Structure 1
Amino acid sequence: MIPLRPLALGDIITGSFATVRAHWKTLAGVVLAVQAVVLPVMALVVGIAFASVHQHFDPVFDPPFGEDPAAEHLVPLVVAAVVVFVLLMVIGVLGVSVTAALCPAVLREAVMGRPTSFRALWRSSVRRAPAVAGAMFLSGLIAGAPVFLVLAAWLPLVFSAGSGEGAVALLGFLPLLMLAAAPLAVWLGIRFGLAPAVVVLEGAGPVTGLRRSAALVRGDWWRIFGYTLVAGMLAGAIAYAIQIPFNLIGTFAMMPVLQGIPEHGTPSAGAVAAAVFAVVLLLLGGAAGQVFQIGFSHLASAMLYVDQRMRREGLAEAILADLAAPAPATPPAAATDPAAPRRPAGDGGS
């Protein structure tokens, strides 16, 4: 799928597209399986939360005139909202982690010229998803630390200044502080951006993945930043183009519905069906665009990992030697990166 030499930007983009084109069935199958698990679980979480606190909605959102909502009704809603937010965040991160683990696994088989199967890649992706989620969480936490620190220092100052001119003056400092924190956050994000690929392709743990990513990026930050930026912009543009047909059809489907609803009355069954059809189209378009954007971005990141290994650690020669050697006794799907750094027993893991 890619030339076994240091890669230029064009090689990374074309290699990512070639991998998607050659293995789109497997990629789509695993991603759809993830969505089939994640979306019902999310719906179940929201449904349980709504059933638990639905009796508090009217007292909070429609209290008697001139009265504030009582704490006995407001507190359960706040607690439920926080719990639902945390659970949905965890479920979503795990779902994205499976996709993030899938892309390097597919690329490994593509680089080695080996066939892929849904079952093998599903097992590999699910097995490495917790470690990938840990690497993504740690890298996001570290990269976001400058922004968090700015907010942690700025918010108490604003509250302590009250509502006078001091608070207004402090509000003007936030953009300046963010301008100072944003470059550091971007630098840290690129420095640890190869960690998911390291976790999958080297079987490393989250902390080891961060260390390896920093070592591979060191001295080559600007090139990796530029390639990552171009790949991300391209993925976003194509994802938006994927959504356009769904959005157009959904919008045109909604027009007769809106025109056919009587001013004082209930909509017909046909209008309800058309509205449901339009909403489903919009959701499908958004999901398809997001899946492509996430998958392509992670494929490009895995390509950058392979590129850095070829530039610094002789990965191309190791791959050629592995291909020239007799077939191993282990199944191809279980084979690992031939040039993966050896780690002592017990090191790494998920």
Structure 2
Amino acid sequence: MTTPESAPDQPAPPQPAGSQPAGWGEPPRYGQYAPGYDAAAQAAPEQPQYGTAPGTPATGQYGQSQYGQYTPGGPVPGYRPLADKPGIVPLRPLSLGELYDGAFGAVRHNPGVTLGLTAIVVVVAVAIGTLISIPLITWFTDLFGSLFAEIGADPALDDMGFTQDMLGVTYGSAIGTGILLTLASPLAMGVMAISVSDSVIGRKITVAEAWARVVKRAWFLIGFSLLSMLAGLVAYAVAIGIAVGLFAIDPVLGAIGAFLLLAAILVGGVWVFTRVALIPPALAVEGGGFWATCQRAWKLTRGTFWRVLGIYLLTSVILGFIAQIVAFPISLVLGLFAVLGSGVGLAISYGVTYVITGAMSVLFLGGVMALLYIDTRMRREGLDVQLQAAAAAAADK
């Protein structure tokens, strides 16, 4: 057992008039020991007796050490740790509340990037998408008009709002604006992830720096989004083909098969989506190749599946609730344009709705997922040690 004589020597107390010994109060560098630290005692500590906590002194009451003594494994004499929270979150595994607080803190810490640059990306994408959706709206309106003319108009559908103009605007805007927003959202999410990764260590990057860094990874982010969409379409196409084949054999078998396929797509889709949820922030922050980064981020969710899924679902529900409140005044404007029968006005109103919901998703959900990526790496890879060193380097500049 450890005796008082074997305790490491304490450093001399600070002397007045600047006569402090060298190294007092300075944190040891990586791979070095602080003054007074007994490396040999730490390398081969004595095996404690059963029921005795490691580092318990031989004298004194159980669980207590004598005043002025240090126990092996405790705080290193002369070591002054860095601040626990140099940036928007503490550099340790985060709780749910700290993730949400950090997402709001990222916006407050660097509004020029989080609010300005991300909003510009979303607005430009929606504006281009709205221009593309205008001819699509005309095409879908004529298509549904011909369909209603063949099957006959139903007053009940008109009362519910299922008119050819409304359906044309809905499908045209969803395809035109939706596709552009799907391609632009990864870029905006990447900007958010880069800003958050620097805000974590207390560093504030400029808009030009954030844009220059995200442009280097732009094709990776857009490529991942396109691959995700393609994988989903292929999965649905295969499922529909199998269901049609089963219905051709037997209607009952087809119904059972369709139900099982739908359940398999739902469960499989949730599983795959959760396993790849940390890939976008990893692609934006890390500097590795596309497939190597995807493989690393895939492995990060191993063992943390339910935590990642639960936080994402809860955040999405909160965002959906807030979006409904914010979008209510816009729905009144949509109703006014519907009465006036202006297709262009409806397209613009849909575009405004996409801007608001898209910006909210990028800011809050993007911030939460970026912090969740950092939190998972701190839990699995000890990233907090590297972040502490980076925070110290940023503070010295």
Q: Fold match, TM over 0.5?
A: yes
Name the residue aligned to 1:5.
Answer: 92
Equivalent position to 1:298, from 332, 344, 366: 366
Equivalent position to 2:117, from 7, 11, 30: 30
**CA, structure 1 residues 101+184, in 2 after alignment: closer, same or farther (shift >3 Å)?**
same
Residues 146 and 185 in structure 1, CA contact (< 8 A), matched pair in contact too: no
Listed one character per residue, the Cα deviations across residues 134-156 of structure 1 (whole Å, up to 9, x for unaligned) are 22333455577654532232234
Task: Check if 1:222 corresponds to 2:306.
Answer: yes
Cα distance in 1 for partners of 2:315, 2:122 equals 24
Q: Any idea what SS the aligned residue of 1:5 has?
A: coil
Residues 132 and 206 in structure 1, CA contact (< 8 A), matched pair in contact too: no
Task: Check if 1:103 corresponds to 2:187.
Answer: no
Name the residue aligned to 1:208.
Answer: 292
**CA, structure 1 residues 124+94, in 2 after alignment: closer, same or farther (shift >3 Å)?**
farther
Q: Output aligned runs, 1:200-349, within 5 Å.
A: 200-248=284-332, 250=333, 254=336, 258=339, 276=345, 280=348, 283-325=351-393
Cα distance in 1 for partners of 2:304, 2:288 equals 22
Deviation at 1:200, TM superposition (A): 0.9
Residues 221 and 283 in structure 2, CA contact (< 8 A), matched pair in contact too: yes
Cα distance in 1 for partners of 2:107, 2:369 equals 14
Cα distance in 2 for partners of 1:90, 1:124 equals 24
Deviation at 1:41, TM superposition (A): 3.5
Name the residue aligned to 1:42.
Answer: 129
Listed one character per residue, the Cα deviations across residues 218-260 of structure 1 (whole Å, up to 9, x for unaligned) are 1121111111211221222222222223334x26x839x95xx
AA at the equivalent of 1:11: E
Name the residue aligned to 1:124.
Answer: 213
Residues 126 and 180 in structure 2, CA contact (< 8 A), matched pair in contact too: no
Q: Output aligned runs, 1:189-200, within 5 Å.
A: 189-200=273-284
Structure whose alpha-carbon radius of gyration is higher: 2
Residues 190 and 221 in structure 2, CA contact (< 8 A), matched pair in contact too: yes
AA at the equivalent of 2:115: A
**CA, structure 1 residues 286+247, in 2 after alignment: closer, same or farther (shift >3 Å)?**
farther
Q: Any idea what SS the aligned residue of 2:198 has?
A: helix
Cα distance in 1 for partners of 2:127, 2:225 equals 24
**CA, structure 1 residues 282+146, in 2 after alignment: closer, same or farther (shift >3 Å)?**
closer
**CA, structure 1 residues 244+25, in 2 after alignment: closer, same or farther (shift >3 Å)?**
farther
Listed one character per residue, the Cα deviations across residues 316-350 of structure 1 (whole Å, up to 9, x for unaligned) are 1111112223779xxx9xxxxxxxxxxxxxxxxxx
AA at the equivalent of 1:208: A
Q: Any idea what SS the aligned residue of 2:200 has?
A: helix
Listed one character per residue, the Cα deviations across residues 4-52 of structure 1 (whole Å, up to 9, x for unaligned) are 100111111111122133334422322332245324443554568899x
Residues 147 and 178 in structure 1, CA contact (< 8 A), matched pair in contact too: no
Give the TM-score normalised by structure 2. 0.60
Of Structure 1 and Structure 2, which has the larger fraction of its residues in helix?
1
Name the residue aligned to 2:43.
Answer: none
Name the residue aligned to 1:138.
Answer: 227
Query: 5+ unaligned residues in a row in structure 1: which ranges?
Result: 66-83, 259-266, 333-350
Matched-pair identity in %: 24
Deviation at 1:292, TM superposition (A): 0.5
Cα distance in 2 for partners of 1:24, 1:197 equals 19
Q: Any idea what SS the aligned residue of 1:325 has?
A: helix
Superposed CA RMSD: 4.1
Cα distance in 2 for partners of 1:206, 1:234 equals 32
Q: Output aligned runs, 1:143-158, within 5 Å.
A: 147-158=236-247
Q: How many residue pairs get matched?
A: 289
